Amino acid sequence: MKAILTTIGKDQVGIIAGVSHFLAEKNINISDVSQTIMNGYFTMMMMVEIQDNKTDFAILAQQLDELGKQLGVEIKIRREEIYDAMHQL
């Protein structure tokens, strides 16, 4: 499945490295990435591909939440369909 991973928080060293490293460890591929600094806040969006049969989404979301706490940012993951549903006919 495709999912969108969003990382928002105060900018500091090692956020991209931390998130990418975690995803690589989990064998999750990043297919697109966009990153900006808005009002001093680091904002990153990643489209990732998750192998449905090998990953428990609930556990993954929880691990990302914990990773976010370590990095001092908020990391959320949502399946892509919710964004499509809301904005596309």
Q: Is 81 in the site for other proteins (CB under 8 A)?
A: yes
16 touching other proteins, by CB under 8 A: no
| Closer of 25 and 56 to other proteins (Cβ) | 56
Interface with other proteins (CB under 8 A), residue total 20
Contact indicator for 30, 20 with CB cutoff of 8 Å: yes
**Sheet containing 73-79, strands listed edge to edge, beginning at the edge strand earlier in sequence:** 29-38, 41-49, 2-10, 73-79
- Evaluate whether 46 touches 32 at the Cβ level (below 8 Å): yes
4 binds other proteins (CB under 8 A): yes
Interacting residue with other proteins among 11, 32, 49, 66 (CB under 8 A): 32
Nearer to other proteins, 61 or 72 (CB): 61
Q: Would you tell me which residues interact with other proteins (CB under 8 A)?
A: 4, 6, 32, 34, 43, 45, 47, 57-58, 61, 76-79, 81-83, 85-87
